Amino acid sequence: DGGITQSPKYLFRKEGQNVTLSCEQNLNHDAMYWYRQDPGQGLRLIYYSQIVNDFQKGDIAEGYSVSREKKESFPLTVTSAQKNPTAFYLCASMRASGELFFGEGSRLTVL
Amino acid sequence: GQSLEQPSEVTAVEGAIVQINCTYQTSGFYGLSWYQQHDGGAPTFLSYNALDGLEETGRFSSFLSRSDSYGYLLLQELQMKDSASYFCAVRDEWETDSWGKFQFGAGTQVVVTP
């Protein structure tokens, strides 16, 4: 079955460390997105990518970086420059009809 | 600036009807979507309106009025499993060759009681 796989599901990080969250899709979708969700809040856009080798900053890109070397993969790196990285991170891809498919999310906790 | 407004919480009993309103102010508009998210889970797609009017999908319906920058999600015959957060999202298309990006509201917590 097609879908989006995020890993790891839970991740703990010490302050000052970079961590990379994986996002893989086999839906053959061009557009992919990374969102951050804090408790009781909506989703805020970090980065998005329309096609391979191209990506744009969203509303809260500071302290994050991405790459899009393959259509299937859109990893997110949370760098030490992100001052408050503890959150639930969601990766999504978009069907041409406008429907977003989400992965199960990665929950990052900074110790 | 860009904003989407929706109520923070709605409580209703099983079998009732709930309407969640969403008003938006965005730089561009290509469509209004609704997503459901259970605690700790991923959002799942419910409906998408690009044109004015009502879209019905089983117990859920969604309405859009572009002239009023307003839409709503209607949940009918509420069931306990409908207890979740519901988000409206606007797809804004800035450029002709862009797939667009999505801005989400803060979500409405629907609590269904017996």
When CB atoms are compared, the residue of A40, A50, A58 closest to B98 is A50
Say whether pLDDT at A23 is over 70: yes
The whole-number average pLDDT for the span A48-52 is 91
Strand partners, B5: B23
Check if A105 contacts B (Cβ < 8 Å): yes
The whole-number average pLDDT for the span A68-91 is 95
Q: For residue B96, what are the CA distances in angstroms to A46, A96, B99, B113?
A: 22, 14, 8, 46
Q: Bin A16: left if φ > 0, else alpha if -120 < ψ < 50, else beta.
A: left
Check if A102 contacts B (Cβ < 8 Å): yes
The Cα–Cα gap between B4 and A44 comes to 12
* Residue B29 pLDDT: 85
* Partner-chain contact B101 A35, CB within 8 Å: no
Interface test with A, best of B102, B109, B111 (most A CBs within 10 A): B102
Polymer length of chain A: 111
Q: For B48-88, how does the pLDDT look when each residue is reduced to its tens digit (9 = 90+)? A: 998 999 999 899 999 999 999 999 999 999 999 999 999 99
Find chain B residues with C-beta within 8 A of A32's C-beta: none
Q: Name the residue in chain B with its Cα closest to that of A54.
A: B98
Q: Name the residue in chain B with its Cα closest to that of A58.
A: B101
Helix (H) or strand (E) holding A49: strand A43-49
When CB atoms are compared, the residue of A30, A33, A42 closest to B105 is A42
